Amino acid sequence: EAGVAQSPRYKIIEKRQSVAFWCNPISGHATLYWYQQILGQGPKLLIQFQNNGVVDDSQLPKDRFSAERLKGVDSTLKIQPAKLEDSAVYLCASEDMEDTQYFGPGTRLTVL
Amino acid sequence: QQQVKQSPQSLIVQKGGIPIINCAYENTAFDYFPWYQQFPGKGPALLIAIRPDVSEKKEGRFTISFNKSAKQFSLHIMDSQPGDSATYFCAAGGTGRRALTFGSGTRLQVQP
């Protein structure tokens, strides 16, 4: 079974630029999460999707972050404009029917 | 009330030792407690998980102990090996597709 795919793996941008991350979850997983992991910390939820609907985006900085999950499969997370404090690893996870979350390898973002 | 507190921040043991990592939570609505293992450059991977209807769960060399009244749970790694050197995260969540709240992580080093 293929795992959660994410791209790109690394991205370096300057502050105020925009960036987008892509996630392809495990086939058949209806629930998809985006987490932000700052160096030395645990992952923190940004947004949760159930199929193509948003379940929880209470911790998403909506003035600069946006996410979508078209057709209930792939998802993209966008930051515009980026700030220095957005430097982190962005993790995508999909969940099976037994509440187990499977994480992708993440995208490491550096904002200069 | 959503926090999960994890300790210690780092841990060094000799090969064959039994590292113990502790977590405490506040939200009594949590009913799912997984532990994740993360290697550098990789996403977190589920190690073992427990629900509050049992006080202990073993899978191979990994054991979770759970104390519902104290709202605490811990991970024990029996006969630790250098390959166990990684960062370990506890987390808490609920059934019904609620996102996980992660602890701050414990960096474990197992010396040969």
Quick one: DSSP state of residue B32?
A: B
Per DSSP, the residues of A11-27 read EEE-TT--EEEEEE--T
Strand partners, B38: B87
Specify if A83 maps to a domain: yes
Superfamily of domain B4-111: Immunoglobulins (2.60.40.10)
**Number of structural domains, chain A?**
1
Distance between CA atoms of residues A82 and A17, nearest Å: 6
In a domain, A107, yes or no: no
Q: Read off the pLDDT of residues A43-69 as tens digits, 9 standing for 90 and up.
A: 999 999 998 899 999 999 999 999 999
Say if CB A4 and CB A26 are below 8 A apart: yes
Whether B2 contacts B92, CB under 8 Å: no
We report the CATH number of the domain holding residue A91 as 2.60.40.10
Amino acid found at A78: K
CB contact under 8 A, B89 and A42: yes
* B93 touching chain A per CB within 8 A: yes
Per cent of chain B over pLDDT 90 is 86
Longest dimension (CA), chain B: 42
Q: Which domain holds residue A44?
A: 5-98
Is A103 part of any domain? no
Contact A4 B45 (CB under 8 A): no
The per-residue pLDDT for B96 is 59
What distance in Å separates residue B81's CA from the closest CA in chain A? 23
Residue A105: phi and psi, rounded to 5, are: -75, -15
Q: How many CB atoms lie within 10 A of CB B100?
A: 27
Predicted confidence pLDDT, tens digits, chain B (112 residues): 568 999 999 999 999 999 999 999 998 889 999 999 999 999 999 999 999 899 999 999 999 999 999 999 999 999 999 999 999 999 999 865 578 999 999 999 999 9
- Residue A90: how many other CB atoms lie within 10 Å: 23
Which of A51, A58, A101 is most worth mutating to test chain B (most B CB atoms within 10 A of its CB)? A101
Domain residue spans of chain B: 4-111
Residue A46 lies in a domain: yes
Tell whether A22 is within 8 A of chain B (Cβ): no
Asked whether residue A88 is domain-assigned, the answer is yes
Closest CA to B41 of A9, A75, A24, A43: A9
